[in-house]
Structure 1
Amino acid sequence: MTRDAIPQPLMRVTKPRLYEQLVAQLLAYIESAHLGPGDLLPAERELAERLGVSRATLAQALVALEVLGVIDVQHGTGAVLIYRPSIAAVISGLREHRNRLPEIVEARTTLEVKLAELAAERRTDADLLAIEDALRAMAEEIAVGDRGAHGDELFHQAVTAAAHSPVLAQLMAFIAEMILETRLESLAQPGRPEQSLASHRTITAAIRAQDATAATAAMLSHIELVSDVALLK
C-alpha cells in the first residue's frame, strides 16, 4: 500500500439474530435429509429438543419460513415443505421483509383506521352480518387450536366492504399480500389469536353502534396490538 492510499473503513459485523440462526439450521436439515416439496418436517417438540431451544423460539423461525413461502404450517398436520431454497436466499429475503415491516404497519394504520370510521358511518345490516359471521369463523378456528388466520382475514375484508369506498378497497387489495405476512407473524405470538379476536369484537361493537369515533380508536388500538411481532424486536 502506498503512503497516499486511503484504507477502506471496516464495516461492523452484524450478529445474526437467533431466529436467523434457527432458520439456517432448519434449511440445512431439510437439505441433509433430502426433503422435497410435500414432505413433512419433524414435529415442533422434536425440532425444539434437537435444536436446544424453546418451542416459542422455534415457532418464530417456522413463521419466518412460512411468511417467505418455504413451508406451510397446517393445523393438525405440521410444517409441510413447499420448496427448498438456498440458505443465503432465505436469510436475505428475511432481512428485506423485516426492514419493510414498519412500512406495512404504517400503511395498515393509514388505511384500516379510516375504513373502520367509514364502516361505522356507512354499514348496512348486511355488512354487519358479514362482519359478525367473520367473528364466528375466527372464534371457531381458535376453539380447535388453530391461529384463526382465515377468520381474521374475513373480518378485515368485511370491514373494508362495509366502508363502501372502492378506492380504499383497491388500495387494501394492493397491500393484501404484505398484510398476510404480518397476519401470520402476529397470530403466531403466544395468546395473540384470543387477543386479536377480542379486539375485533370491540371494533364490531363500535361499527354496530355506528360510532365512528369509537371505531377509529378501536381499529388504531388493534393495529398497534397486531403489529407487535417478534421479528421487529
Structure 2
Amino acid sequence: MAVTDEAIQKIKAMIVSGELAPGDRLPPEKELAEHLGLSRNSMREAVKALEVIRVLDVRRGDGTYVTSLEPHLLLEAISFVVDMHDDDSLLELFAVRRMLESQATGLAAGLATTEQAQQLLEDVASVDPETVSIDDLVAHDTHFHGQVVELAGNGYLASLIDGLSSQTIRARVWRGLTEQGAVARTLSEHQAIAEAIAGRDSTLAASLATAHVAGVERWLRQAAQA
C-alpha cells in the first residue's frame, strides 16, 4: 500500500471508530502525523485527497475539520464521474437510474403521507400541457422525480439518483424538442405515478417509474442509431 493510501486509511479509521466525529477539528498536522506514525508529507497528501471527496474541510487559517459526512457531500463525486462519460455511456447511466428509481418510487408509495402524496398530485396538475415551455417541463420533471425519491426516506439512495438524473437533463431536453407528444406523455406518466403513490400501491408505482425512465432511454437509443 502506498504511503498516502495508508494515511488515508488511518484517518478514515479514526472517523469510522468515532475518534473523529462530523464537525470535529483534526489535531495539528505534526501532532496527527506523529500519532499515526506517518510523515507530514504523506499526511498532507492524504488530507488533500480527503478534501477533494468532501470528507475533510480545510479552512485556511483555522484548521482542518471533518465535514458533516452527509450523503449529498460524499456522493458529489458521482456527478463529476458522470460528466466524463460520452453519449454512448449515457444509455448505461439511464439503465442504472431506471433500476434505482423504480425501487425508490416503490418505497415512496409505502412511506408517503397523505399530504405528501396530495402535494405530488397538485404539482402535476399545476402544469398546463398546452402552454408549458420545454425548460419549464424539464424543471418540473426534475422537481417531480426529486420529490418522489426523497419520499423513499434514504439519503444515500436519493443522492445516488440525483447524481445520475441531474446529468440526464440534456437528453430530456432533446426529447422535448424532437419527439411529438412528449409533453403530454410526460405529464400523464407523472400523474399515474403520483396516483399510485397516493394509492399506496408500491408494485404499480415501481412499474410505472420503470416504464417512465425507460421511455427516455428507448428514445435516446433510437436517436443514437439514427
Verify same fold: TM over 0.5: yes
Q: Which has the higher helix share?
A: 2
**Residues 187 and 203 of structure 1, relative CA distance in 2, 3 Å threshold:** same
Alpha-carbon distance, 1:213 to partner:
0.7
> Is the contact made by 1:127 and 1:161 (CA closer than 8 Å) also made in structure 2?
no
Which stretch shifts more, 193-202 or 128-137? Answer: 128-137
* 1:195 matched to 2:185: yes
What's the RMSD between the two structures over aligned residues? 1.8
Which stretch shifts more, 193-202 or 173-182? Answer: 173-182
CA offsets 1:100-156 (integer angstroms, 9 cap, x no match): 12112112112110111001111112321332233134x23x321522111111110
> Is the contact made by 2:146 and 2:162 (CA closer than 8 Å) also made in structure 1?
no
Alpha-carbon distance, 1:99 to partner:
1.0
TM-score of the superposition, structure 2-length normalised?
0.55
CA separation in 2, counterparts of 1:181 and 1:175? 12
Alignment partner of 2:86: what SS?
A: helix
Other-structure match for 1:174? 163
CA separation in 1, counterparts of 2:114 and 2:215? 28
CA offsets 1:181-201 (integer angstroms, 9 cap, x no match): 222222222211111111111
Superposition map of 1:55-134 within 5 A: 97-134=86-123
Alpha-carbon distance, 1:208 to partner:
0.7
Other-structure match for 1:55? none
Instruction: Work out which structure has the larger RCO, using CA pairs closer than 8 Å and 6 or more positions apart in sequence.
Output: 2
Q: Percent identity?
A: 21
Other-structure match for 1:144? 131
Considering only CA atoms, is the larger Rg found in Structure 1 or Structure 2?
A: 2
Other-structure match for 1:92? none
CA separation in 1, counterparts of 2:140 and 2:166? 16
What letter corresponds to residue 118 of structure 2 in structure 1?
L
Instruction: Give the gaps of 5 or more residues in structure 1.
Output: 1-95
**Residues 231 and 97 of structure 1, relative CA distance in 2, 3 Å threshold:** farther
Kindly report structure 1 stretches of 4+ aligned residues shifted beyond 6 Å: none
Alpha-carbon distance, 1:212 to partner:
0.6
CA offsets 1:176-232 (integer angstroms, 9 cap, x no match): 331222222222222111111111111111111101111111111111212213532
Residues paired across the two proteins, number: 136
> Is the contact made by 1:206 and 1:212 (CA closer than 8 Å) also made in structure 2?
yes
TM-score of the superposition, structure 1-length normalised?
0.54
CA separation in 2, counterparts of 1:179 and 1:134? 21
Alignment partner of 1:143: what SS?
A: coil
Other-structure match for 1:218? 208
CA separation in 2, counterparts of 1:110 and 1:201? 20
> Is the contact made by 2:99 and 2:210 (CA closer than 8 Å) also made in structure 1?
no
* 1:163 matched to 2:163: no
